[in-house]
């Protein structure tokens, strides 16, 4: 096998270089090119356990071509899907070696000669999210970058395109809800879950929330109710013959969100009204979803899935940017909030360890560059 | 509890009569009314095992009101849903005491004074299906009856509104299929399954069919292939890593039909293409459907249900009558066929015993009055 090293390819710092690649071309291209600053990046050369395969390295400058924008990253989160990409278990992932990270916020550092509408100093986010945000300088085509207002708290700008957008699109994309309707969800303490509660409440939609039985579940309930949850139940509270008897003045939900699977998904199905829809967007319990025949035939339930990655077509991406602006407005106004821990880049591996769940339950880790 | 007996109510022969009901009203109404002939009917007074709770009785004449049509029944099948209604396990069922049966064909015997478009001698079917077809004379409002051509084989006219209509609507109602596409189904030897094969083939749609492992499965395969099945597999043949590798020139199916549940449903999910839909319309194995989280998120499958009973709204019922005419045309031309055994009414309880599966696998039982 040929030896492998980092090289410049098409504005990307990371690709395989085999020993037979002529080094000359690099020198020639660099001669007249506008170059980015060097970048410090979280790189992985192999798929595997993130805390063993990732390392922080310096990457050399890359060319900023006519349509490129060089962005100085300000902050980027560690999401579960980032971890899955590094592990190699995510269906869509960059080829290794790769820089980690998928969303984040940055400030425009320099622009190529053909770039319009973006200037140094602007805040931008990659939208749709785009791989390689765990580094100090990112160079990508101008179409990748969405300019946002600079008055949004940085950590919300860094995290809006995955979890809050998932919550919003799931509320919008499946059925038409109106004020007074209700939804039901499990995994309600997750960031998506917290966003669903708040976004539903803004629309006058009631939320019925299911959480795990665990130490601190009473506090978790109170926290979710402060965010606007109408009802919060632990799974064991729902071991009753008719879960709907627990709903006082809330109508039966037409829409449910499942990010757990197993019994927690069955509980969603029990709450749903005739003709209701359950959307699965995660499987935290690693258990499958089991459904009775009569749920489909007589109760007319529909089961669907949601994956943000699907929303990559031009039209949907454009629509998502409007949704993102709306979500960032809410975050700025304090109407959309969730817990995060902002961690300096130097402490990346501590943050990664927390994100991997090795230090118990921790808030979302957001790297500040 | 008050004593209970059969009486006339609103043109129906069967309802509870409690001892305090004044018998006088009956005499007065009957005075000037047009009456049906007396009827021989399969009646059940209680829910329970059909062979113990049903009996054939004579029912007195009922009034044929201005908008009513009195129909001399010609033939009616014994469907699994008829059995479930008698057992009391079907979500929608008539109050007892009741006459059994739900679909069938008859000849108009007499019409009320306000009836238009129907005359004695016409062949009619209740559409949507309507309870109480297991009797020699049925009196119902003219809106119940759909006039059909008399050149259709009687047993097909008697059975078109449940199984063939289910097959056709499931092919039409969920996704738009075009020639060259494919579908996958389990329980393919059922009448619905056989209809799906034939209706798909007429449209140029390939069918992939899954059947149980059992003695005679080779013959069953040959029979389905003669009907137009492209592929027929037993469940054990599909115990391979990648079921799709078994499809030669057939595209991955976008639509699947499940009437079995359990492993047979999982096999449907394995065959479906990205973004495909599985429609559940039965659960013969009495096992639930188990689905992985990734089937929803990454494979973007949708799981739905089909219940003919839902198609009772005016518009859908009207549309169904067009579908029924189309299906009867196919049956007349020999393009839609399935096995039936026509049994004289006198042998009703033998037919019922066969329909209950007490004499091994038997063709659909159709009572001839």
Query: What span, in angstroms and rounded, lies between the C-alpha atoms of B111 and A161?
Result: 67
CA distance, residue A321 to nearest chain B CA (Å): 22
Q: Give the three-state DSSP class for A352.
A: helix
3-state helix, strand, coil in chain A (%, to 5): 35, 25, 45
Q: How many CB atoms lie within 10 A of CB B217?
A: 18
Query: What span, in angstroms and rounded, lies between the C-alpha atoms of A31 and B95?
Result: 89
Residue A93 has pLDDT above 90, yes or no: no
Average pLDDT over residues B126-150: 96
- Which position has the token pair 């096998």? A1
Buried b (16+ CB within 10 A) or exposed e, B247-283: beebeebbbbbbbbbbebbbbbbbbbbeebbbbbbbb
Q: Is A305 in contact with B310 (Cβ distance < 8 A)?
A: no
CA distance, residue B279 to nearest chain A CA (Å): 8
> CB contact, 8 Å: B289 with chain A?
yes
Q: Considering chain B, what percentage of its residues have pLDDT values greater than 70?
A: 91
The tokens of B330 are what?
Answer: 């196919």
Residue B7 has pLDDT above 50, yes or no: no
Mean pLDDT of chain B: 91
Task: Give me the pLDDT at residue A309, please.
Answer: 84
N-to-C CA span, chain B: 36
Query: What span, in angstroms and rounded, lies between the C-alpha atoms of B8 and B28?
Result: 12
Among B283, B291, B298, select the one facing A289 at the smallest CB separation: B291
B154 — pLDDT class (breaks 50, 70, 90): very high
> CB contact, 8 Å: A175 with chain B?
no
Q: Is the peptide bond before A308 cis (omega within 30 degrees of 0)?
A: no
CB-based contacts of B322: which residues, under 8 Å, 6+ apart? none
Query: What span, in angstroms and rounded, lies between the C-alpha atoms of A367 and A353?
Result: 13
Average pLDDT over residues A34-41: 96
B19 — pLDDT class (breaks 50, 70, 90): very low
Question: Which residues of chain B make contact with A296, given a CB cutoff of 8 A?
Answer: 279-280, 289, 303-306
Q: How many CB atoms lie within 10 A of CB A164?
A: 27
Task: Give me the pLDDT at residue B9, please.
Answer: 43
CA distance, residue A270 to nearest chain B CA (Å): 15
Q: From the candidates A264, A305, A310, A316, which should be mutated to test the interface with B, based on the most B CB atoms within 10 A?
A: A305
Q: How many CB atoms lie within 10 A of CB B4?
A: 14
Query: What span, in angstroms and rounded, lies between the C-alpha atoms of A202 and B175?
Result: 34
Query: CB of A207 within 8 A of CB of A229?
Result: yes
Query: CB of B160 within 8 A of CB of B125?
Result: yes
Residue B33 has pLDDT above 90, yes or no: no
> CB contact, 8 Å: A345 with chain B?
no
pLDDT tens-digit profile of A234-243? 999 999 999 9
A281 is catalytic: no
Question: Which residues of chain A make contact with B282, given a CB cutoff of 8 A?
Answer: 293, 297
pLDDT tens-digit profile of A252-297? 999 999 999 999 999 999 999 999 999 999 999 999 999 999 999 9
A318 — pLDDT class (breaks 50, 70, 90): confident
CA distance, residue A306 to nearest chain B CA (Å): 5
Query: What span, in angstroms and rounded, lies between the C-alpha atoms of A68 and A65?
Result: 5
B178 — pLDDT class (breaks 50, 70, 90): very high
The tokens of A307 are what?
Answer: 């994956």
Task: Give me the pLDDT at residue B348, please.
Answer: 98
Q: How many CB atoms lie within 10 A of CB A275?
A: 13
CATH numbers and ranges of domains, chain A: 39-159+339-368 (3.90.180.10), 163-310 (3.40.50.720)
Query: Considering all CA atoms of chain A, what is the largest pairwise distance in Å, rounded to the nearest integer?
Result: 75
Average pLDDT over residues B206-218: 95
Task: Give me the pLDDT at residue B38, please.
Answer: 97
Q: Considering chain A, what percentage of its residues have pLDDT values greater than 90?
A: 85
Q: Is A300 in contact with B281 (Cβ distance < 8 A)?
A: no
> CB contact, 8 Å: B48 with chain A?
no
Task: Give me the pLDDT at residue B183, please.
Answer: 98
N-to-C CA span, chain A: 36
Question: Which residues of chain B make contact with A303, given a CB cutoff of 8 A?
Answer: 291, 296, 302-304
Task: Give me the pLDDT at residue A166, please.
Answer: 97
Q: Is A305 in contact with B297 (Cβ distance < 8 A)?
A: yes
Q: From the candidates B93, B173, B293, which should be mutated to test the interface with A, based on the most A CB atoms within 10 A?
A: B293
pLDDT tens-digit profile of A169-226? 999 999 999 999 999 999 999 999 999 999 999 999 999 999 999 999 999 999 999 9
pLDDT tens-digit profile of B247-300? 988 999 999 999 999 999 999 999 999 999 999 999 999 999 999 999 999 999
Question: Which residues of chain A make contact with B266, given a CB cutoff of 8 A?
Answer: none
Q: How many CB atoms lie within 10 A of CB A350?
A: 13
Q: What is the DSSP letter of A250?
A: P
Q: Considering chain A, what percentage of its residues have pLDDT values greater than 70?
A: 91
Q: Is A297 in contact with B280 (Cβ distance < 8 A)?
A: yes
Query: What span, in angstroms and rounded, lies between the C-alpha atoms of A114 and A120?
Result: 14
Task: Give me the pLDDT at residue B153, please.
Answer: 97
Q: From the candidates A296, A306, A307, A309, which should be mutated to test the interface with B, based on the most B CB atoms within 10 A?
A: A296
Q: How many CB atoms lie within 10 A of CB A359?
A: 10
Query: What span, in angstroms and rounded, lies between the C-alpha atoms of A239 and A220?
Result: 19
Q: How many interchain CB pairs under 8 A, A with B?
A: 92
What is each CA distance from A341 to A162, A348, A355, A362, A368, in whole angstroms?
Answer: 17, 12, 10, 8, 10
Question: Which residues of chain A make contact with B283, given a CB cutoff of 8 A?
Answer: 292-294, 297
Q: How many CB atoms lie within 10 A of CB A104?
A: 29
Q: Is B299 in contact with A310 (Cβ distance < 8 A)?
A: no
Q: Is the peptide bond before A97 cis (omega within 30 degrees of 0)?
A: yes
- Which position has the token pair 């599909």? B238
More confident of the two residues B91 and A16: B91
Beta A145-148 vs A123-126: how paired, if at all? antiparallel
Task: Give me the pLDDT at residue A32, please.
Answer: 64
The tokens of B28 are what?
Answer: 């007065």
Query: What span, in angstroms and rounded, lies between the C-alpha atoms of B129 and B124?
Result: 11
Q: How many CB atoms lie within 10 A of CB A116?
A: 8
Q: From the candidates B279, B296, B300, which should be mutated to test the interface with A, based on the most A CB atoms within 10 A?
A: B296
- Catalytic pick among B90, B137, B156, B326: B90
pLDDT tens-digit profile of B306-321? 999 887 777 888 889 9
Q: Is B293 in contact with A302 (Cβ distance < 8 A)?
A: no
């Amino acid at each position: 096998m040929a030896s492998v090293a980092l090289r410049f390819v098409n504005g990307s710092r990371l690709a395989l270089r085999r020993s037979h690649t002529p080094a000359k071309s690099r020198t020639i291209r660099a001669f007249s090119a506008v170059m980015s600053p060097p970048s410090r990046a979280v790189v992985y050369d192999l798929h595997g356990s993130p805390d063993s395969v990732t390392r922080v390295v310096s990457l050399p400058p890359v060319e900023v071509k006519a349509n490129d924008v060089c962005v100085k990253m300000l902050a980027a989160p560690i999401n579960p899907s980032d971890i899955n990409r590094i592990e190699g278990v995510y269906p869509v992932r960059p080829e290794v070696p790769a820089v980690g990270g998928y969303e984040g916020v940055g400030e425009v550092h320099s622009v190529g000669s053909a770039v319009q509408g973006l200037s140094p100093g602007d805040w931008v986010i990659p939208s749709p999210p785009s791989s390689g945000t765990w580094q100090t300088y990112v160079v990508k085509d101008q179409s990748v970058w969405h300019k946002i207002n600079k008055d949004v708290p940085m950590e919300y700008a860094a995290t809006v395109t995955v979890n809050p957008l998932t919550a919003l699109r799931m509320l919008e994309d499946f059925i038409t809800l109106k004020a007074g309707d209700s939804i039901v969800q499990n995994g309600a303490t997750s960031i998506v879950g917290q966003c669903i509660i708040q976004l539903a409440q803004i629309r006058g939609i009631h939320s019925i929330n299911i959480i795990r039985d665990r130490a601190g579940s009473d506090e978790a309930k109170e926290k979710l109710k402060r965010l606007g949850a109408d009802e919060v139940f632990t799974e064991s509270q729902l071991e009753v013959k008719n879960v709907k008897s627990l709903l006082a003045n809330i109508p039966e939900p037409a829409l449910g969100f499942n990010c757990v699977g197993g019994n927690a998904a069955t509980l969603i199905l029990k709450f749903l009204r005739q003709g209701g829809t359950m959307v699965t967007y995660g499987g935290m319990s690693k258990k499958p979803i089991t459904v009775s025949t009569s749920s489909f035939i007589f109760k007319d339930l529909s089961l669907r899935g949601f994956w943000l990655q699907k929303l990559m077509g031009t039209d949907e991406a454009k629509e998502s940017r409007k949704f993102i602006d709306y979500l960032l407005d809410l975050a700025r106004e304090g109407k959309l909030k969730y817990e995060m821990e902002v961690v300096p880049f130097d402490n990346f591996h501590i943050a990664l360890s927390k994100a991997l769940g090795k230090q118990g339950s921790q808030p979302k880790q957001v790297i500040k560059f």
